[in-house]
Amino acid sequence: MADLGTGLIWFVAFLLSTTVHEAMHAWVAWRGGDPTAYHGGQVSLSPVPHIRREPIGMLVVPLLTALTQGWAMGWASAPYDPNWAARHPRRAAIMAAAGPAGNFLLALGAFALLKAGLIAGFFVAPDSVTFSSLAETSAGPNAVTTMLSVFLMLNVLLGTFNLIPLPPLDGASVAAIFLPAPVKARVEDLTSSGMASMLGLIVAWQVFPFLTAPFFSIVLRVLHPAHSYS
């Protein structure tokens, strides 16, 4: 059983980060001429409409994994009009990229607060680091340092994972605009296929662990340039 306090922090961070991710998709689609998600209530930073659309992926699974594994996983979605996407492929690609962009903005905000705390002396570099403990106070980790650490790493990983160019992830739609028309049409067919989407997720989950360590190392080097962590 994971630590209850840390698990709850992961759950809250996942809920808020995923809400921002889906709200960014919905807002950019609405601004680009597709009001589908807007009418569904997804242009909102309240988790409620997103939970209402995906209660299992937004609430049940992340809460269970957070409390039992010490980190949260789940899923969410924002509706869009595929006919609009076909007519406006560049707008659709921008809409797809907007979700990960929201995650990277949250990560940047958490990084800035951690870095400011380190510079001001409120936080110090820990002797050992985890995704939940990138910094601590002189008395040890607390809720603030844990929350900022989780927000930083969770959003780096969420943004990165969703940019893997495999359906049904956002990266497939972003990459499609750079492909020749016949290949792009094939990718769109695959994206709409449930079997291909399931296969894409399986492959992405196999690839992603090879990306987490390098990205974690990059975050540590930028956050703590004077320290070396093995």
For residue range 135-160, list pLDDT tens digits in order: 999 999 999 999 999 999 999 999 99
Long-range CB contact pairs, 123-131, < 8 A, 24+? 125/224, 125/226, 125/227, 128/229, 129/220, 129/229, 131/71, 131/216
Q: Mind listing the pLDDT tens digit for each residue in 220-230?
A: 999 999 998 87
Q: For residues 191 and 196, give the distance between their C-alpha atoms in angstroms, rounded to a whole number.
A: 7
List b or e across 148-167, with b for residues whose CB sees 16 or more CB atoms inside 10 angstroms. bbbbbbbbbbbbbbbbbbbb
Buried b (16+ CB within 10 A) or exposed e, 210-227: eeeeeebeebbeebbeee
Digit-coded pLDDT (tens) for 37-92: 999 999 999 999 999 999 999 999 999 999 999 899 999 999 999 899 989 989 99
Task: For residue 24, give the 3-state DSSP assignment.
Answer: helix
Return the structure tokens found at 125.
């570099």
Tally of residues, the chain: 230
Model's pTM, two decimal places?
0.92
The mean-pLDDT minimum among 29-38, 144-153, 198-207 falls in 198-207
pLDDT at 1: 44
Over pLDDT 90: what percentage of the chain?
73
Q: How far apart are CA 48 and CA 99, in angstroms?
A: 18
Count of Cβ atoms closer than 10 Å to residue 135 Cβ: 24
In whole angstroms, what is the distance from residue 124 CA to residue 151 CA?
18
By C-alpha distance, which of 200, 190, 192, 138 is closest to 165? Answer: 200
